[in-house]
Structures are given as C-alpha cells and as structure tokens.
Copies of this chain bind each other. A is one copy, B any other.
Amino acid sequence: MKKAPAILILSGTTLLLAAALIGVLIYLRNQPTPQRGIQPLVEIAQYEPDSSKWGLNFPNQYSTFLLTKDNKARTAFGGSEPYSKLESDPRLVTLFAGMPFSIDYNEERGHMNSLTDVRETKRVNEKTPGTCYSCKTANAPRLWDQMGPEEFFKTPFAKLGEKIDQPVGCANCHEANTMRLIVTNPALEEALEEMGRDWRTFTRQEMRSVVCANCHVEYYFKGEGKYLTFPWDLGLSADDVADYYNQIGFKDWDHKITGAPMIKIQHPEYELYATNSTHYRAGVACADCHMPYVRNGAAKFSSHDVKSPLFTPEQSCGACHTDVAYVVDRVKQIQNQVREVMDVAMDALVEAIGAIEKAAQDPQADPELLAEARQLHREAQLRVDFINAENSMGFHNPEEALRVLAKATDLARQAQLKAIQASSAVIQARK
C-alpha cells in the first residue's frame, strides 16, 4: 500500500485536533459556573442557608460580610451600635405607650447579628408568629420553599425557631451558583406583582436596590395567619401607606394613653428612597453607597460589610462626587435640619397625646370630636414614625422627609385642638 503523503497526514491531524478543541469548548461552555470563567470550588445547593459554604467560592464578599458582626460604630443619628432609643429620647415611650416598642427599642446592629438580636429582644413573646423570622435569617428562603409561606408565617415563633440557625446571609439575596440577585421574600414578590411590576425584568442596577426591599420596608401581618404583607397598593409614600391602612381599617395596637387605633411603622428605607429621591432618580442603587466597590489586591468587589456610608465616604460618595468633604458636610446639614423638624413634630405629638388624655377623662367630652382627635393622632404619628423609623434621618429623601414631618406637625397640632374643643367646657361655651 502506498503511503499517504506527509502533507495529508498533517492536515488530517490538524482537523482532528481542531474538532476536539471545539468539542471541549462547547462542553465547557455548557457547564454551570458561578461567574463566567470562574470555576467554583464547591457546588452550592439551592437556598443554602449556611453563608460560610458560599464563602468558599467568594472569600472577599464573605470576609467583608463577617465584619457586620462587629461594625458597631455610631454615627450622629444611627450607625450600628445597639444603644437604647427609648433612653436617648423618652418621648418615644409616650408615643409607643401600650405596645412592645415602648419597652425595648434599640438601634439595630449589622446583618450577622440579626438572629441573636431578634431572639433577645423583649418585643418577642409567646404570641409572636413565625413571620418575625422572615427578615432575620438565611434559613427563610428554603423554609418558604419547603413549608410554603402560609405555614411559615403561622407557625409560632418559638416552634419555627427550631429549624433556624443562621442570621441574614447570602441566600436572602442571591440565587445559588448563578449568584444573580433575586427577590426571595414572598411579600415583596406579591407587592411588586400587585403594582404590575415583575422583578425578573429589572436591570441589574434596579436589583441592587430591590433586593434590599426584601427586608428594609414597612410591612404588616395580614389576618389570622399573620401573612407578611407590604402596604404598597396605593403607592410607596407615607401618605399612600396611611391611606392604605385607613382603607383596610387596620391597626397594630390601641394607644394606651389616647385610645387611638395606631400603626407602628417599620424601617421604610426602600419606600422613602424610591419616592422620587434625587439619588434614586439619578439611578443610584442602595448598594452603590452601602456596599461600595473596594479592592483586595487585584480583585474589585462590592463590600458586603453593609453599613452607613458615613464610614466609607471616599468609596461611597467619592465614586460620583469629586468633593467628598463637601458632600459629607451636606449630609450632616440635611440630617440636622430633619432632626430639628422631627423634634418639632414629636413635641407636638406628645402635647396632643396629653390633650386627648385629659379630654378622655372628661365624662361630658364630645365623643365625635374626641374620635376625630384620635384619628388625627393616628395620622400624625404614622407620619412621624415613617421618618423616625426610617434609618437615614431623612437623608434618603430630604425634601420628602421634611414634607412628611411638616404635615405630621400640622396633624398633631390639629389633634390637640380637637381634644381641647372636645372638652365639655368648650362645648358649653358654644351653647
């Protein structure tokens, strides 16, 4: 048999090698990878609650996340030091009379402490539903998947706690393996749906804010099943939320001093920020300021030591603003202005509560005017609480915060007026 010429042998070999290479590339391309081009060290199961496992693949993100355990520094109006808000402002004891926040109300600590702190707060008792674990643990997404949200929410807090061993973590915001940002809280999924919005169509930059709304929002427990619900049907502003609660006739508690049907507002950071704040409208995401990009050697990543940007102004503000000292001073100035207006509003509220208390003790007081005073107390306090419970002393949306507080002051003073008018002496004078 005649030998094939050398040139043909070489060509055939080249073709075979090329085909093999293409095959290998196609194979690799179809393999699941956490990030294109980075091979994970370990495979992460869906809804894996243990962040330390995710940390093997993402040591930079995980090691900064661990810092949230001890990032205890205090800012002028917040930070992560768990000081007692009730001791630093005794007016809050009056405002929340008759409900657990008047007994125990501390500044919250970093994400790693969420489980410890919810178990230690005096606000939890034997009637507390499992719902309260929704934002305190990375176990929640898997439990919602396994048990269904209804079952999760209606299980008593203590009983559900047996299944829970992790603080807030990776699984609250990330999909395993793809690492993409996802909505995990069923209440957020449903609230967005109700507004006609599908987070699966959101840009990555939008998701860098929306995942924070898994927890940093106002909520309530709906019905007997204590189903976690966001009051967003009419919009996100304080006025919209107030209208929503009035429409459904909801109350969190009856005020111990005035008897008014009250709402306790919880950290509406997302709502205040997304109500047309200048940073929100400029396309800035929560993570841009609270999880700024940092470097570790050659790696650039988003810090997971989530905290006040006032601790990292160069990275947080400096990414967009050239004069960091100037903008930090602007933050201080705005927060001082909001604090001043909030003090005016809180003083008005405390006086309104006193006037209603006095009128209610008068057996001849006009019951209709007294009911109006109570409704005004509810409306005023909801708005003050919207800005007070929100963690930025108004900076997330300065003009809106000041607008809401101005309106709250007016409502509180009107409550006081109605109470005085309800008293029998004033009624007699009219006759």
A424 at the binding interface (Cβ < 8 Å) = yes
Which segment, of A119-127, A311-319, A395-403, faces chain B? Answer: A395-403
For A22, what are the chain B residues with a Cβ–Cβ distance below 8 Å? Answer: none
A420 at the binding interface (Cβ < 8 Å) = yes
Is the beta-carbon distance between A420 and B423 smaller than 8 angstroms?
no
Residues facing B in A278-314 (CB within 8 A) are: 278, 281-282
A262 at the binding interface (Cβ < 8 Å) = no
For A407, what are the chain B residues with a Cβ–Cβ distance below 8 Å? Answer: 341, 344
Taking the closest CB of chain B, its distance from the CB of A62, in whole angstroms, is 37
Main secondary structure of the interface of A (DSSP, over half): helix
For A399, what are the chain B residues with a Cβ–Cβ distance below 8 Å? Answer: 333-334, 337-338, 398-399, 402
Is the beta-carbon distance between A413 and B417 smaller than 8 angstroms?
yes
Taking the closest CB of chain B, its distance from the CB of A19, in whole angstroms, is 52
Interface core residue of A341, A345, A421, A423 (most chain B CB under 10 Å) = A341
A276 at the binding interface (Cβ < 8 Å) = yes
A27 at the binding interface (Cβ < 8 Å) = no
Q: Closest residue to A414 on the B side, CB-wise?
A: B413
Taking the closest CB of chain B, its distance from the CB of A264, in whole angstroms, is 23
For A337, what are the chain B residues with a Cβ–Cβ distance below 8 Å? Answer: 399-400, 403
A400 to B65 Cα, complex, angstroms: 38
Of B326, B403, B417, B420, the contact of A341 (CB 8 Å cutoff):
B403
Interface core residue of A276, A330, A402, A417 (most chain B CB under 10 Å) = A402
A324 at the binding interface (Cβ < 8 Å) = no
A185 at the binding interface (Cβ < 8 Å) = no
For A416, what are the chain B residues with a Cβ–Cβ distance below 8 Å? Answer: 413, 417
A18 at the binding interface (Cβ < 8 Å) = no
A416 to B418 Cα, complex, angstroms: 11
Residues facing B in A15-72 (CB within 8 A) are: none
Taking the closest CB of chain B, its distance from the CB of A145, in whole angstroms, is 41
Q: Closest residue to A282 on the B side, CB-wise?
A: B326
A213 to B282 Cα, complex, angstroms: 33
A345 to B405 Cα, complex, angstroms: 12
Residues facing B in A332-346 (CB within 8 A) are: 333-334, 337-338, 340-341, 344-345
A414 to B420 Cα, complex, angstroms: 12
A282 to B333 Cα, complex, angstroms: 14
A425 at the binding interface (Cβ < 8 Å) = yes
Ordered by A's residue number, 28 sampled pairs between the chains whose C-beta atoms are within 8 Å are A276-B333, A281-B330, A334-B399, A341-B403, A341-B406, A341-B407, A344-B406, A344-B407, A345-B406, A398-B399, A402-B406, A406-B406, A406-B409, A409-B409, A409-B413, A410-B413, A413-B413, A413-B416, A413-B417, A416-B417, A417-B420, A420-B420, A420-B421, A423-B429, A424-B429, A425-B425, A425-B426, A425-B429
Known: A341-B402, A410-B413, A420-B421. 11 other contacts (CB 8 A): A333-B399, A337-B399, A341-B406, A348-B413, A402-B402, A402-B403, A406-B409, A409-B413, A417-B417, A425-B425, A426-B426
